[in-house]
Amino acid sequence: MVVQDKVAVITGAASGIGRKTACRYAEHGASVVVADVDAEGGAETVERISDDGGEATFVETDVTDPTEVRTAIETAVDEYGDLDVLFNNAGIEGSLNELAEWDDEAIEPVIDVNLKGVFYGLKYGIEAMLATGGGSIINTSSVGAATGINGRSMYCATKAGVNGLTRTAAVEYAEDDIRVNSVLPGTTDTPMIRRSDQERDTDRLQLNTSDAMEGRGQPRHLADAVLFLGSDLSARVTGVELPVDGGFLAGP
């Protein structure tokens, strides 16, 4: 029970990595605010946690709206009395096109969700943690922040930006006992990746990834990494970009 009695806000928790992490935190004794724009999926996550005896609340949250992000964080403090962990996980993949073929209007949504959404989470999460004595913030980046992914130029660019925000916030708030780290998923079996697999219909857009370990990553692998980073087991870990990628970035 490594996060017993802690309070966590998890964005993008209606499915995939976010849902699995919310359930994992609840299993380990945390109270969880499930934040997502998908009300049906968010309610299902809360139901799963409740059915297993955990504590969770859903807040419909569009991370591109700073007011809604702030409301999700304030709900944690109002409902459970604290904010110990914030997992800025919500993200979108955007268009699947080579860079020169991207429509101009397709750029902004990716920046708004993947980069601004994390910024707003950091801003209001830090504000709450300064008032409650510190905490841990984890941001979802990607191996695409460290290497190119065919067809995902803006996705990779925003995830590199997430790492920049992570490092800066970690340095700025270390003295306030606020730790900030990022996780870098490799190819993980999520709805996003399954959509992407179906869209890659030309040789030029095929994934240029090959994990050193066999098989494909699962949401539980990310959930356990985020659980570690949110717990006191990682009390001296901050500013870290942690790949959870089966050894992909370690390869040639």
The domains found in the chain, sorted by start residue, are 7-243 (3.40.50.720)
Q: Can you spell out the DSSP letters for 166-192?
A: HHHHHHHTGGGTEEEEEEEE-SB-SHH
**pLDDT for position 36:** 98
Active site residue 155: yes
pTM of the full predicted structure? 0.93
Count CB-CB contacts under 10 A for residue 214.
6
Q: Which residue among 80, 120, 124, 155 is the active-site one?
A: 155
Largest CA distance in the chain: 52
114-169: per-residue pLDDT in tens? Answer: 999 999 999 999 999 999 999 999 999 999 999 888 888 999 999 999 999 999 99
Cβ atoms of 69 and 120 within 8 Å: the answer is yes
47-87: per-residue pLDDT in tens? Answer: 999 999 999 999 999 999 999 999 999 999 999 999 999 99
**pLDDT for position 48:** 98
8-34: per-residue pLDDT in tens? Answer: 999 999 999 999 999 999 999 999 999
Mean pLDDT of the chain: 92
